[in-house]
Structure 1
Amino acid sequence: MKSKWYSLLSVILLFSLLAACSGGGSGETGEAPGGGGTEAPSGDKGKTTVQFWHSLGGKNGEYMDALIQRFNASHEDIEVVGTFQGSYDETVTKLQQAIASGTGPDVSMLERAYVQMFADSDVLEDLTPYLEGSGISVDDFTPGLMGHSTFNDQLVSLPLNRSTPILHVNKTLLDELGLQIPTTWEEMKEVANALVVKEGSEYKRYGVTMPYDTWYPIAMISQAGGTFFNDDHSSIGFGDNGAGAKMFAYLKDLQSTGALYYPPAQDSGNIVNSMFVEGKVGMMYQSTGSIGGLSSTVDFDYVTAFLPKDEVYANPTGGANVTMLSSSKNKEAAWEFIRWMEMEEEGGLEFILQSGYLPFTKKMVESEKMQALWAKEPNRKVAYDQLEFAVDTNKDVAWPEIMHEFFSAIEAIMYDSKDIPATLDTFKKETERILAQ
């Protein structure tokens, strides 16, 4: 497994600017990078400093800064220093380098697909005794969000800024055309095509869009009855049953009529969000973490809905968990920050209410504030309800490396219109090569 760690390290260093799912952005916290859990400056003698690395910029970064400030204000003997480290992949790269040099933080946000890689390298603290000592059970957390927490019989991460893809809908446009929100792929095709406005050779409005990402194709593969990996993780699970070819053929068919706008890879999330807000597209596959920002920006009747099904409803989870590094010299203080952030109302709940990410504990779900918000903004309740169909079939220590091969397949098909079966066959062979290492 150690050899695979170094193999994955080289790949992620090379591709560090690609993110597995949206949630990074720009806008630093202003804190200088630090590591290892150092003593506080002399003016704060006796105060333990906890270094916390995260990947949230923009508005979500501001919400995380506010969370850290609330913690520091309520703890006289602990000071958390939060540092924005860039995208999820950039944070992983910096974390690997810091671990190797002995300068890692005490606590780090870690995109859920990378947790297994770090867990298999024995660099994450087992949180089980900390939970037990605090009277917390794994049953206290939201079902559907714990799939990337336990590896090798150790609980090494807890959910934090978690999300799923969801369908965002400009209901005003649909109502004007007498259209219903689609619940199936076939209905999506009809509605998306009906929304298209074309003047000459130029499309003035598209039907549906989605960011450039592996997330949405993986969701659709699951909806078509496939899995990303086969049962023994020796190959892909969507080749022989045709789910992958069916999914890409469906997207290309929509793309050919203007029913689907597939954006350029660079800054795709912001591009599609802007198009949706401006009414240039009627529907959008996008993260549940976008709900808060969109709700405060759009000037039309905006609703969310489950991702349309093919054979079944299905959607992968995304976002990041929080971990403690086993090298931390301030584990009790680090755990107090994690515990407070996970379980206290003034901790993570406020962050979730502000950002639109999914509530990650049952206590959050049942809180008066969450229930009141859902009553006021039912879009967020839809996001939580969709967790009933959460499924993560790309869970493997080799996923970070295979992800980049899948990006290449997506680019070949969606941008260059390469032959779908041939492209997927090449991807399958590359996946089998990587899994066999």
Structure 2
Amino acid sequence: MKKNKVTLLLVLTMIISLLAGCAGANNGSNTNSGTNSGSANTPEADEQPAKGGKTTVQFWHSLGGKNGEYMDALIKTFNETHSDIEVVGTFQGNYDETVTKLQQAVAANTAPDVSMLERAYVQMFADSEVLEDLTPFLESSSLSADDFTAGLMGHSTFNDKLVSLPLNRSTPILHVNKSMLDEKGLAVPTTWEEMNQVANALVIQENGEFKRYGFTMPYDTWYPIAMISQAGGKFFNDDNTSIGFADNGVGEKVFNQLKKLQSTGALYYPPAQDSGNITNQMFVEGKVAMMYQSTGSIGGLTEAVDFDYVTAFLPKDEVFANPTGGANVAMMSGSKNKEAAWEFIRWMETDPQGGLQFILKSGYLPFTNKMVESAEIKALWEKEPNRKVAYDQLQYAVDTNKAVAWPEVMHEFFSAIEAIMYDSKDVKSTLDTFKKEADRILAQ
């Protein structure tokens, strides 16, 4: 059974490699890749020492740019405060590229000790039994799952094992150029109907060309999934045997809403390539008034804009709802350095000099209860209330794409999004085709 599950990882490598770079989704030291053969609470007999008697822990991540610099600083602090452990952090590309490389490394017995995993991929690795159960490690450190932010734990436990913990986590949120709205006496929209009115009111068109758009969003599955939930739908049905939004009119409602806004210039839908950077730059330059984008962008936007910038909950239809995103951290079960790997994870997750500093700099969501209650976070939220809005929105967090087949289904969903948003194909027939393909995948 385990061999078959590892084979599944290899099969999905091809699929995910096709997806690498599509979405801004939007991120060899060991020689043994089996399940843990030693006690979680005792050092491994074959723990690998580095030069100078230190144990080397290989850590793969998907953070580039400023966030990569923040992660490098975190690792540097850890190494400076741990005389017996040396963490080597390696940027492996975006989330999809990291997953592809990790699958290949598992098959080749060269997986790292610790890896960042985009939260929707955790289940795939968990079902392949290549992630360590962290429960004994938590218990040995007097910690439990209850110590972590509840809205971010939906992709942590599979098959009765706690296999990952939140790290650089985010949600989509509404970013608003409030100065632009104030000029027209407009309030920040809280519903789809209000979004229609406000976005259209902010459009500037001259000589048949749009000079300013109402709002934008990157090319990604994240934002349509959020809207599906807001309209009272589910991406998968309750038992993950079918798509849950294609037959009840929810999917048509979502994409008809987007196409209607796109047709008037109220929505600018960007090219697929580099869409996140394109939308961010348009927002900074005042070419668009509002933007659906990750909470992880708050820090960078705050530094870049020269207008009154605020954040708000994603507008609701039937209900407020938003998916979570970003990545978790996991220990590979084949690690020969489990105690040292856990010390790095524990420190990164709970030490005030660890993840807290990363969160303060980056704009990602605080992922432990103590972090939320810390004086540093409270001071940050008082200074930058936009970040507290992001945390408050977690009360409406939903996990809508949890299925081991998600990578394959995601590929088909991207195809449907492209057909509708770029090629203006019929919404209903496109979603019908998507559902047939997705149901076929789920039946395998």
TM superposition score normalised by structure 2: 0.94
Aligned equivalent of 1:36, options 4, 15, 30: 30
Q: CA deviation at 1:152?
A: 0.4
2:268 matched to 1:261?
A: yes
RMSD of the alignment, in Å? 1.2
- Aligned residue number for residue 7 of structure 1: 11
CA distance in 1, matches of 2:72, 2:18: 30
CA distance in 2, matches of 1:296, 1:129: 42
2:186 matched to 1:179?
A: yes
Contact kept, 8 Å, 2:22 with 2:273, in 1: the verdict is no
Contact kept, 8 Å, 2:416 with 2:434, in 1: the verdict is yes
Aligned equivalent of 2:87, options 80, 96, 103: 80
CA distance in 2, matches of 1:400, 1:302: 35
- Aligned residue number for residue 55 of structure 2: 48
- Aligned residue number for residue 21 of structure 2: 17
- Aligned residue number for residue 41 of structure 2: none
**Number of corresponding residues:** 425
What are the within-5 Å matches in structure 2 for residues 160-171 of structure 1?
Answer: 160-171=167-178
- Aligned residue number for residue 338 of structure 2: 331
Q: CA deviation at 1:20?
A: 6.5
What amino acid does structure 2 have at the position aligned with 1:18?
C
Q: CA deviation at 1:301?
A: 0.2
CA distance in 2, matches of 1:244, 1:392: 17
What amino acid does structure 1 have at the position aligned with 2:351?
E
1:64 is paired with a residue whose SS is helix
What amino acid does structure 2 have at the position aligned with 1:36?
N
1:240 is paired with a residue whose SS is coil
- Aligned residue number for residue 209 of structure 1: 216
2:297 matched to 1:293?
A: no
Moved over 3 A (4+): 3-7, 37-41
1:237 is paired with a residue whose SS is coil
Map Cα deviations across residues 332-370 of structure 1 (whole Å, 9 max, x no partner).
000000000000100000000000000000000000000
2:365 matched to 1:361?
A: no
- Aligned residue number for residue 29 of structure 1: none
Map Cα deviations across residues 294-328 of structure 1 (whole Å, 9 max, x no partner).
00110000000000000000000000000000010
1:135 is paired with a residue whose SS is coil
TM superposition score normalised by structure 1: 0.96
Map Cα deviations across residues 231-253 of structure 1 (whole Å, 9 max, x no partner).
22111111122111000000000
CA distance in 2, matches of 1:310, 1:223: 5
- Aligned residue number for residue 99 of structure 2: 92
Aligned equivalent of 1:375, options 382, 393, 397: 382
1:296 is paired with a residue whose SS is helix
- Aligned residue number for residue 345 of structure 1: 352
- Aligned residue number for residue 398 of structure 1: 405
What amino acid does structure 2 have at the position aligned with 1:235?
S
What amino acid does structure 2 have at the position aligned with 1:230?
N
- Aligned residue number for residue 243 of structure 1: 250
CA distance in 2, matches of 1:362, 1:344: 13
What amino acid does structure 1 have at the position aligned with 2:318?
E
- Aligned residue number for residue 131 of structure 1: 138
CA distance in 2, matches of 1:86, 1:203: 35
- Aligned residue number for residue 236 of structure 2: 229
Contact kept, 8 Å, 1:226 with 1:237, in 2: the verdict is yes
Q: CA deviation at 1:16?
A: 2.8
CA distance in 1, matches of 2:402, 2:29: 29
- Aligned residue number for residue 103 of structure 1: 110
Q: What are the ranges of 5 or more consecutive residues in structure 2 without an aligned counterpart?
A: 32-46
Map Cα deviations across residues 220-267 of structure 1 (whole Å, 9 max, x no partner).
000011000012211111112211100000000000000000000000
Map Cα deviations across residues 40-92 of structure 1 (whole Å, 9 max, x no partner).
65xx3210010000000000000000000000010000000000000100000
CA distance in 1, matches of 2:23, 2:205: 33
CA distance in 2, matches of 1:200, 1:7: 51
2:316 matched to 1:309?
A: yes
Q: CA deviation at 1:392?
A: 1.1
1:236 is paired with a residue whose SS is coil
2:158 matched to 1:151?
A: yes
CA distance in 2, matches of 1:238, 1:86: 32
